[in-house]
Structure 1
């Protein structure tokens, strides 16, 4: 098995349907690859090879009919026919475990040498996977993030500078953009960055084996930053690939993963885990005070 696509879903049936349809359409369009695409032991691609891809959907106890829909898909999905380019696997959780723990369930059973973490509120555009995998062939084992687009085609911020107290000061007190918030690099060329969004992140299984899976202390938020930070510390590069374009209904899956009233409650402990309690306090103070000062002088938040 070459590629495992892992999708965590919680009450996102209609979004998930569109996501899966886009993956299947992309795979059946003739993409071919074989061997370790992101890893060091790459094999050449020939036109008569079918892509070998598994989709693993981890459902966090959805109540919107997602499980029934997925069960039907799995029943009709080939699991042993190697002539088929795609297989579908389903993990049904009895409770909402959050993103990191659920994604790790998929990673543990993944047969692919390469793993694509994909949000359920995304849709692949034509050749988006092909672009990811072709670029991955050219680099050493790396973490690669796709370009995220809003439904209207505008570009979403999906890259990060790893957040620090100093960078919070630069953005929120000194007004320097893109030092703390999500951003996107300008231009059409691949570029090395410090971190990418886990909403569409390709990573070699060998990197996971070395640095570990997602940290399950994060229910939601910060797990992608944490993983990229560990990967960079281990010497791996993080890339942003604008030629791989993926439409993202920004926040739709997150709103479902935690109820709106719970999202801030989930963000605070994740921030404390990532930054430590003292830095979390300092960063929160810098952000809130900076926003108030800006509103006072400009009328904008």
Structure 2
């Protein structure tokens, strides 16, 4: 059995995936009993061929497996197929690291996660400290969202954030490991026992909210979720999805983001709770728009965000 199986799901990001694999293999602290599985989600742009040539040309074939798929089923689908490849073809693993293709691990990042799981048997999921290339911290540790948390996250006004600080979704990350409700799926390691108890990631989510859903199911069964800042991972945020969260150009949010959000709140909050979360989100947006109007500045959000939110609100979770 492998110590660590790293799963990277590629969709039309061949060079990012190759760079991510190269960083993993260049890390001298990578656990000896580790293997990387790259899932190509029917990219249709030659990605599988490019990645395959890189694996063979760099002599990586003993440490990297490429598994092209016939369909692009999304993040949960791709990672589930990767876990199945590990279990069926590689004898399984003690832990599974789900890693975005737009990440570059810093030295010791994978080992820090694996060691934390080894030393803490009650912890089932661990996440990395995500950062920009210059070391600037990104959001990576979170509370489960609530209606008040949705309001705070969208309002972005100091007095509101102070009042609702106990419901704020984004948690601070210090230099010490800290417990969270859930961690970012950009670099998330899962103990084998958790997968056996919780089951696969929910493939009803195409992209976004699937790691939140999985962590919630694990926590509901008594497992703990922690962020380990010694595991530092550069996350080129939005490069894999085409949805950068900051910068001069923010793209319109795709319908599957709204569908995933709707699925999550329908699944865990139901009825009035799901409605309250929507009202909290819309109220927060209203406060934010008012602030931007008063300050005479653009709001910086994705184009047509509120209109798209309302248009997609009627979508029902499967």
Tell me if TM exceeds 0.5. yes
Whether the aligned pair in 2 keeps the contact of 1:8 and 1:57 (CA below 8 Å) is yes
Does residue 249 (structure 1) correspond to residue 230 (structure 2)? The answer is no
Does residue 112 (structure 1) correspond to residue 110 (structure 2)? The answer is no
1:102-160 Cα offsets, whole Å, 9 max, x none, are: 11001112121210000000001111112222222211142000000012210000111
- Matched residue, 1:71: 52
Distance (Å, rounded) in 2 between the aligned partners of 1:182 and 1:15: 29
- Matched residue, 2:277: 283
Q: How much has 1:238 moved relative to structure 2?
A: 0.3
- Matched residue, 1:129: 110
1:162-193 Cα offsets, whole Å, 9 max, x none, are: 01123224555633476667635242000011
Whether the aligned pair in 1 keeps the contact of 2:144 and 2:169 (CA below 8 Å) is no
Distance (Å, rounded) in 1 between the aligned partners of 2:144 and 2:10: 27
- Matched residue, 2:130: 148
- Matched residue, 2:260: 270
Question: CA RMSD, aligned part only?
Answer: 2.4
User: Which segment is superposed worse, 133-142 or 192-201?
Assistant: 133-142
Distance (Å, rounded) in 2 between the aligned partners of 1:66 and 1:181: 39
Whether the aligned pair in 1 keeps the contact of 2:41 and 2:74 (CA below 8 Å) is yes
Whether the aligned pair in 1 keeps the contact of 2:147 and 2:278 (CA below 8 Å) is no
Distance (Å, rounded) in 2 between the aligned partners of 1:280 and 1:183: 20
Q: Gaps (5+ residues) in structure 2?
A: 87-91, 244-249, 300-318
Does residue 293 (structure 1) correspond to residue 280 (structure 2)? The answer is no
Whether the aligned pair in 2 keeps the contact of 1:168 and 1:179 (CA below 8 Å) is no
- Matched residue, 1:91: 67
Does residue 175 (structure 1) correspond to residue 161 (structure 2)? The answer is yes
Q: Gaps (5+ residues) in structure 1?
A: 33-50, 80-86
Seen in structure 2, the aligned counterparts of structure 1 residues 268 and 233 have a Cα distance that, compared at 3 Å, is same
Seen in structure 2, the aligned counterparts of structure 1 residues 95 and 273 have a Cα distance that, compared at 3 Å, is same
Seen in structure 2, the aligned counterparts of structure 1 residues 263 and 100 have a Cα distance that, compared at 3 Å, is farther
Distance (Å, rounded) in 1 between the aligned partners of 2:125 and 2:236: 22
Whether the aligned pair in 2 keeps the contact of 1:171 and 1:178 (CA below 8 Å) is no
- Matched residue, 2:310: none
- Matched residue, 1:46: none
Distance (Å, rounded) in 2 between the aligned partners of 1:178 and 1:95: 42
The DSSP-based 3-state class of the residue aligned with 1:2 is strand
1:250-287 Cα offsets, whole Å, 9 max, x none, are: 1111228xxx9784300121112111164444323322
Distance (Å, rounded) in 1 between the aligned partners of 2:161 and 2:175: 26
Distance (Å, rounded) in 1 between the aligned partners of 2:77 and 2:263: 15
- Matched residue, 1:221: 208
Distance (Å, rounded) in 1 between the aligned partners of 2:71 and 2:85: 19
Whether the aligned pair in 2 keeps the contact of 1:170 and 1:179 (CA below 8 Å) is no
Distance (Å, rounded) in 1 between the aligned partners of 2:64 and 2:223: 30
- Matched residue, 1:4: 5
Does residue 205 (structure 1) correspond to residue 183 (structure 2)? The answer is no
- Matched residue, 1:232: 219
Whether the aligned pair in 1 keeps the contact of 2:4 and 2:114 (CA below 8 Å) is no
